């Protein structure tokens, strides 16, 4: 399914998401899901959950799973274009802005932007959780699993490495969700 | 400053002089020019070991505690830039710190080091997944990870977001944003261009509006 022109669609979708990722990776999930599953039909909702889960297993920046969406649409070139499309524009913005940042240091609006954007970003992140939840919460087993992980992390504090809980989720899935 | 005087100075002055020294050391390190391979290698290690989201703690441990490329204040300043801009903390920080150390080449190497290990593993796992579309065990494991991720994301979001649940104004912005994105399915661009300016205007600079110290320097992209 190597469509003509799909490389450009991948580039357009992911570079747009890159620039819109004001609240980071989770905040851009609903838009990514909408664009890739509903508008372009590159993958199903279940595919999206699986691909997101694969991304959760890998180390480093979240959202490296965009590579797999690109790969599914247009092979290795698609994967590379999705990767650079999603990670390069915001990296270039960060690179350019950090060099002129000091000019804004004393601007009183800087704090207003920070303060006003904080709740917006929290709202976007919760929307991201809802987007993943709609595909990942499939019945009581998944609810129990999500609640267990939440309680362990939220009340267990920083002593627990989330990676163990992700792996525990994989094992629990193999036992209870077959 | 003589040794005897230093021991007698009050805590604030001592910590100020310690800060001077560490700022000096960072400048000296930069003057020494951190080799390209070391920038690449350091971010490669962070990129390969930071599992489960939340790269910031790994970054601080490596860049501030182990390498002393930045002091805490410089780290928080870089993090503030990274948070304010679009994109993931992990790659934004790699680019900003790499650039501070060795210019554009340092930024590029930091970026590649940060993303290479995870990207490779994602690709391998994705390949295995793609070759076994009907494997019950793989599919079940991914369903489990998906459910666990919902719990994980909820915990980290609540940990940083609970401040936004306390003030009625913040809570209003949170609820409106969730409604627009998740239920009205308004596009993210429109949400950012409408809710964003309104939220910033609500917090416009006013003499009466005091900012708490805790509002700055917290990790607002915790799952990245």
Q: For chain B, 224 residues long, give each residue's pLDDT as a single digit of tens.
A: 334 333 333 333 334 444 444 444 455 455 568 999 999 999 999 999 887 666 888 888 899 989 999 988 888 888 888 888 899 989 999 999 999 999 999 999 999 999 999 999 999 999 999 898 889 999 999 999 999 999 998 988 888 788 777 889 999 999 999 999 999 999 999 999 999 999 999 999 887 655 554 444 455 666 66
CA distance B143 to A166: 11
What's residue B79's pLDDT? 86
Choosing from B90, B109, B131, the residue where a domain stops is B131
3-state secondary structure of A62: coil
**Mean pLDDT, range A125-141, rounded to an integer:** 94
Interface with chain A: mutation pick from B48, B88, B198, B219, highest number of A CBs within 10 Å? B88
In a domain, B100, yes or no: yes
- Residue with the two structure tokens 């990942």: A136
Contact A25 B152 (CB under 8 A): no
Contact B140 A178 (CB under 8 A): yes
Number of domains in chain B: 2
- By residue range, what is the domain housing residue A95? 6-136
Residue A66: which H helix or E strand, with range? helix A66-100
Do B151 and B139 share a domain, yes or no?
A: yes
Inform me whether the C-beta atom of residue B112 falls under 8 Å from chain A C-beta atoms.
Answer: no
Contact A59 B118 (CB under 8 A): yes
Which residue among A60, A79, A146 places its CB closest to the CB of B150?
A146
In a domain, B11, yes or no: no
In a domain, A153, yes or no: no
- By residue range, what is the domain housing residue B63? 33-131
In a domain, B25, yes or no: no
**Mean pLDDT, range A111-136, rounded to an integer:** 90
In a domain, A62, yes or no: yes
In a domain, A92, yes or no: yes
CA distance B142 to A50: 6
User: Chain A contacts of B130, Cβ < 8 Å?
Assistant: 71-72
Inform me whether the C-beta atom of residue B152 falls under 8 Å from chain A C-beta atoms.
Answer: yes
Do B180 and B193 share a domain, yes or no?
A: yes
Q: Token pair of B29, please?
A: 């390190």
**Mean pLDDT, range A148-172, rounded to an integer:** 87
Do B196 and B223 share a domain, yes or no?
A: yes
Do B38 and B58 share a domain, yes or no?
A: yes
Burial track B134-165 (b if 16+ CB lie within 10 A, e otherwise): eeeebbbbbbbbbbbbbbbbbbbbbbbbebbe
Q: How many CA atoms lie within 13 A of B156 on its CB side?
A: 26
What's residue B7's pLDDT? 35
User: What sign does the dihedral A156-A157-A160-A163 (CA atoms) show?
Assistant: positive
Contact A49 B143 (CB under 8 A): yes
Number of domains in chain A: 1
Do B208 and B173 share a domain, yes or no?
A: yes
Burial track B119-128 (b if 16+ CB lie within 10 A, e otherwise): bbbbbebbee
pLDDT in tens, A78-96: 999 999 999 999 999 999 9
Residues 6+ apart with CB under 8 A from B16: none
SS (H, E, C) chain B: CCHHHHHHCCHHHHHHHHHHHHHHHHHHHHHHCCCHHHHHHHHHHHHHHCCCCCHHHHHHHHHHHHCCCCCHHHHHHHHHHHHHCCCCHHHHHHHHHHHHHHHHHHHHHHHHHHHHHHHHHHHHHHHHHHHCCCCHHHHHHHHHHHHHHHHHHHHHHHHHHHHHHCCHHHHHHHHHHHHHHHHCCCCHHHHHHHHHHHHHHHCCCCCCCCCCHHHCCCCCCCCC
B-chain residue closest to A19, CA distance: B86
pLDDT in tens, A19-66: 999 888 889 999 999 999 999 999 999 999 999 999 999 998 889 999
């Amino acid at each position: 399914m190597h469509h003509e022109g799909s490389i450009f669609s991948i580039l357009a979708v992911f570079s747009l998401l890159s620039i819109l990722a004001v609240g980071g990776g989770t905040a851009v999930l609903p838009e990514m899901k909408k664009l890739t599953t509903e508008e372009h039909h590159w993958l199903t909702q279940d595919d999206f959950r699986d691909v997101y889960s694969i991304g959760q297993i890998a180390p480093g920046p979240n959202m490296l799973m965009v590579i797999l969406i690109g790969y599914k649409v247009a092979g290795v070139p698609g994967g590379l274009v999705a990767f650079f499309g999603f990670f390069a524009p915001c990296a270039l913005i960060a690179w350019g802005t950090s060099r002129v940042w000091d000019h804004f240091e004393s601007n009183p609006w800087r704090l207003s932007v920070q303060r006003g954007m904080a709740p917006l970003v929290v709202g976007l992140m919760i929307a991201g959780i809802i987007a993943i939840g709609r595909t990942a919460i499939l019945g009581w087993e998944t609810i129990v699993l999500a609640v267990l992980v939440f309680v362990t992390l939220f009340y267990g504090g920083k002593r627990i490495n989330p990676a163990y809980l992700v792996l525990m989720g994989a094992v629990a899935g193999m036992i209870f969700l077959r | 400053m003589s040794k005897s005087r230093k021991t007698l100075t009050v805590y604030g002055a001592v910590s100020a002089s310690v800060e001077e020294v560490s700022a000096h050391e960072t400048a000296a390190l930069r003057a020494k020019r951190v080799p390209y391979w070391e920038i690449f290698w350091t971010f490669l290690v962070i990129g390969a070991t930071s599992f489960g989201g939340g790269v910031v703690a790994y970054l601080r441990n490596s860049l501030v505690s182990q390498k002393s490329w930045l002091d805490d204040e410089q780290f928080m300043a870089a993090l503030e830039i990274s948070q304010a801009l679009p994109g993931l903390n992990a790659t934004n920080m790699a680019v900003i710190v790499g650039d501070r150390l060795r210019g554009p080449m340092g930024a590029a190497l930091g970026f590649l080091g940060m993303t290479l290990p995870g990207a490779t593993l994602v690709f391998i796992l994705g390949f295995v997944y793609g070759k076994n579309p009907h494997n019950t065990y793989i599919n079940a494991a991914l369903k489990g990870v998906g459910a666990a991720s919902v719990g994980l994301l909820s915990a980290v979001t609540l940990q940083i977001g609970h401040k936004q649940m306390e003030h009625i104004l913040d809570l209003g912005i949170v609820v409106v944003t969730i409604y627009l994105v998740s239920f009205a399915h308004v596009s993210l661009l429109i949400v950012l261009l409408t809710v964003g300016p309104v939220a910033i205007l609500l917090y416009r600079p006013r003499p009466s509006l005091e900012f708490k110290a805790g509002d700055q320097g917290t990790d607002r992209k915790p799952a990245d």
